[in-house]
Amino acid sequence: MMRFLVRRLGHAAFLLLGVSVLAFAFSTLAPGNYFDEMRLNPQISAERLSALRADYQVDRPMALRYARWAAALLHGDLGFSFAYNTPVAPLLLIRARNTLLLTGTATVLLWMLALPLGVWSAERLGRPADVALSWATAVLLIVPDLALALGLLVLAVRSGWLPTGGMASVGFEGLPAGQKIRDVALHMVLPVTVLVASALPVLLRHVRAAMAEALEASFLRAAEGHGISRRRLLYRYALPAAAHPLIALFGFSLGALLSGSLLVEVVMSWPGLGPFLLEAILARDLYVVIGGVLLSTLFLVAGNFAADLLLYWADPRIRAEATER
Amino acid sequence: MSTRSRLIICAVVLGALHLGVACAGFFAPYDPAAQDREHPYAPPMRLHFVDARGGIHLRPFAYAQELRTGSFDQYEENTARAIPMRFFARGASYRVLGVLPLRWHLFGTDAPVYLLGTDGYGRDLLSRVLFGGQVSLLAGLIGAGLTLSIGLCIGAAAGFWGGWKDEVLMRVAELFLALPWIYLLFAMRAFLPLAVPPLKAFLLVVVVIGAVGWARPARMVRGIVLSAKERNFVRAARGFGATGGYLLRRHILPETGSVVLTQAAVLVPQFVLAEMTLSFLGLGVPEPVPSWGNLLASLQHYNVLVSYWWMYLPALVMVPFFLGYLVLASLLQGSSRATKIEEAPVEV
């Protein structure tokens, strides 16, 4: 068990290290930095500019800057934002919280929909209900999330049924707590719908395929012969047998919590990491971008790690393999 | 219907769609950059066969749109001015596939007719969608070609060499797989110059898109190369003294053909979407060159979203393309699985 854990952790650490090096390497490829545009500003003197450049050490070689940044990171310091003139970490955390609210809700909904629907569809493999569901998911699959998000926005704006844009209405602060929750929930409907609709077809197909394969197994026919109820058969016997690929996907779902909603957030102007990072990219706010990329990679790695642990717990074959080594 | 004939039908339909976009100049009535300052945000015009007095015409016509008095963006049809369509008319000059100069268009009119409406500069949306498709599809096709070549090279090298080289290459591939690809796209684009001329921006976008996705095809190719190099006929060829390069070229890489083809059908729409996303966010191909992504960018403004719904129409254009690629990918996947079962290697 310990060796398995250590191996996985080492793998995760390697990934994070690689990503941070990669992000830094790209930054040296980039012509120009945050302060270059200030040169055009007549209100900033040359001396002030060179003082700023010296302060932020943008002219030092990359290896040196990386070493300093990495050393600070070990103390929990993600660096300093050029544009906001404050540490990056608190800036990122506020946005990450908003993003997590959105993607967390979407992920829970997604799995609550995909599991029963996939099982239901696998049980009726090839029958009209299953075929109809396959067609519905195919339609969702070919409409890209950008088109779906914009289409829903157009609909919502023209019909006026749902609020669009942002996370809260004007005058949000003055509302009582109950209405605050209702207001945020209403604002979440559109982005969550897009997120669920764009991820559902892929997940549904995986659940259906895994379940269909598990239902073929002869032990299930034996269990059926013993007179075990259909429901128990499906969820207690077949689903665990089909769990292996699903657990890996669940880990991926967890990992994508911070990165999966980027485009949707920008389109729906949800105040999460997406628009924030886009703005930072356009302004060349280096440490904000690297911090954001690193944070989302951390989530991905953690998600994969969680999936590994879950698999270890759920699948005796992996346990055996890990102890053999 | 056999899988083969389905594949042919699918390929023909996809080819026709692409040909339509490649000959955008012919199907588009106007130059994509031509502005009509008299008609900003004109809604799509309707084609009529029956005129206001109930007379039936064989030749379709549109009624001229004129600004409602006292309004700056509300148009009304002037039923006194019918504009008949002339087919195969001469109009703005264009080049077919960037070479052959022509002036023939599918249809032309004496006064402007905007079948999909116009944007804020009075540019014909239909023409822009058609020409934008050239940019987006080309980006997707070249990007996929680039990704597959990188993936093929790295996968083949890793699988063929094995040992520590394989280990290193696959670790790097895992690194690229672990990153969410849209973030990777962003990060790479973030640190490349932002304000560049359209052609350079297009090349940048293609290179960035192409460089991001190589890990998955590389891993697939590696798997096939690993199993192929132990097949008996490869061993036999090696025994006859074939060099590594010859073995790869002649015996091993052809085995990867079906997987590469399937991956291409999967990757092209993904990369078209990637180009659209980047251009939509202002990180890709800039104005005035149209692309499917930057045509949608104006929808980020609330007033456009509220008042000019036809600006959303470009989002629907790619749906038939995506459908075609999805069907193609699933057919290819099915057929390659079928052949794999047929000629499964007999383990000795």
* B16 lies within 8 A of chain A by CB: no
Write the ipTM.
Answer: 0.79
For residue A310, pLDDT over 90 is answered with no
Percentage of chain B lying above the pLDDT 90 cut: 5
CA distance B25 to chain A (A): 25
What residue of B is the nearest CA neighbor of A17? B175
Q: What is the 3-state secondary structure (H, E, C) of A117-141?
A: HHHHHHHCCCCHHHHHHHHHHHHHH
Distance in angstroms (rounded) separating the CA atoms of residues A80 and A86: 6
SS3 of residue A20 by DSSP: helix
Percentage of chain A lying above the pLDDT 90 cut: 4
For residue B197, pLDDT over 60 is answered with yes
Q: For chain B, list the strands marked E by DSSP.
A: 48-50, 56-67, 75-84, 86-96, 100-108
The pLDDT score that the predictor gives to residue B348 is 32
Residues A73-84 have pLDDT tens digits of: 888 777 777 778
Tell me if B312 and A151 make a contact (CB, 8 A cut-off). yes
Tell me if A154 and B309 make a contact (CB, 8 A cut-off). yes
For residue A108, pLDDT over 90 is answered with yes
**Closest among B152, B156, B18, B155 to B97, alpha carbons compared:** B18
The pLDDT score that the predictor gives to residue B209 is 83
User: Which residues, at least 6 apart from A109, have a Cβ–Cβ distance to it below 8 Å?
Assistant: A192, A196
Percentage of chain B lying above the pLDDT 70 cut: 91
Choose the closest CB to A146 out of B305, B315, B326.
Answer: B315
For residue B347, pLDDT over 60 is answered with no
Section B2-17 average pLDDT = 88
Instruction: Report the C-alpha dihedral over residues B88, B89, B94, B98, rounded to 10 degrees.
Output: 10
Residues B52-81 have pLDDT tens digits of: 777 787 788 888 887 877 777 788 777 777
* B207 lies within 8 A of chain A by CB: no
Distance in angstroms (rounded) separating the CA atoms of residues B189 and B203: 12
Confidence of residue A112 (pLDDT cuts 50, 70, 90): very high
The pLDDT score that the predictor gives to residue B190 is 65
The pLDDT score that the predictor gives to residue A86 is 82
Between B265 and B94, name the one with better pLDDT: B265
Chain A positions touching B306 (Cβ under 8 A) are: 157-158
CA distance B92 to chain A (A): 31
Which of A171-185, B235-249, B258-272 is predicted least confidently? A171-185
For residue B179, pLDDT over 70 is answered with no
Choose the closest CB to A30 out of B171, B192, B283.
Answer: B192
Section B274-280 average pLDDT = 87
For residue A317, pLDDT over 80 is answered with no
What residue of A is the nearest CA neighbor of B188? A26
Between B174 and A109, name the one with better pLDDT: A109
Chain A positions touching B318 (Cβ under 8 A) are: 144, 147
Chain A positions touching B270 (Cβ under 8 A) are: none
Choose the closest CB to B191 out of A18, A29, A138.
Answer: A29
Between B210 and B191, name the one with better pLDDT: B210
Chain A positions touching B294 (Cβ under 8 A) are: none
For residue A325, pLDDT over 70 is answered with no
Contact map slice: B 178-197 vs A, CB within 8 A: 178-180, 182-183, 186-194
Choose the closest CB to B319 out of A143, A150, A266.
Answer: A143
For residue A322, pLDDT over 70 is answered with no
Whole-angstrom CA distances from A84 to A91, A186, A284 are 9, 30, 12
For residue A109, pLDDT over 90 is answered with yes
Confidence of residue B342 (pLDDT cuts 50, 70, 90): very low
What residue of B is the nearest CA neighbor of A34? B191
Chain B positions touching A32 (Cβ under 8 A) are: 193
Chain B positions touching A266 (Cβ under 8 A) are: 281
Return mean pLDDT, chain B.
82
Confidence of residue A229 (pLDDT cuts 50, 70, 90): confident
Confidence of residue A31 (pLDDT cuts 50, 70, 90): low
Section B190-194 average pLDDT = 66
Contact map slice: B 315-334 vs A, CB within 8 A: 315-316, 318-319, 322-323, 326
Specify the amino acid at residue B147.
T
The pLDDT score that the predictor gives to residue A216 is 83
SS3 content of chain B, % helix, strand, coil (to 5): 60, 15, 25
What residue of B is the nearest CA neighbor of A165? B302
Confidence of residue B194 (pLDDT cuts 50, 70, 90): low
Return mean pLDDT, chain A.
82
Tell me if B190 and A19 make a contact (CB, 8 A cut-off). no
The pLDDT score that the predictor gives to residue B344 is 38
Section B232-250 average pLDDT = 85
For residue B146, pLDDT over 90 is answered with yes
Total-model pTM: 0.83
Chain A positions touching B192 (Cβ under 8 A) are: 26, 29-30
CA distance A125 to chain B (A): 18
Q: By the 8 A CB rule, do B102 and B115 touch?
A: no
Which of A55-59, B23-27, B220-224 is predicted least confidently? A55-59
Residues A11-23 have pLDDT tens digits of: 888 888 888 887 7
The pLDDT score that the predictor gives to residue A105 is 92
Section B306-317 average pLDDT = 84
Between A51 and A143, name the one with better pLDDT: A143
The pLDDT score that the predictor gives to residue B150 is 92
CA distance A27 to chain B (A): 5
What residue of B is the nearest CA neighbor of A149? B315
Query: At how many degrees (to 10) do helices A88-123 and A243-255 cross?
Result: 150
Distance in angstroms (rounded) separating the CA atoms of residues B226 and B223: 5
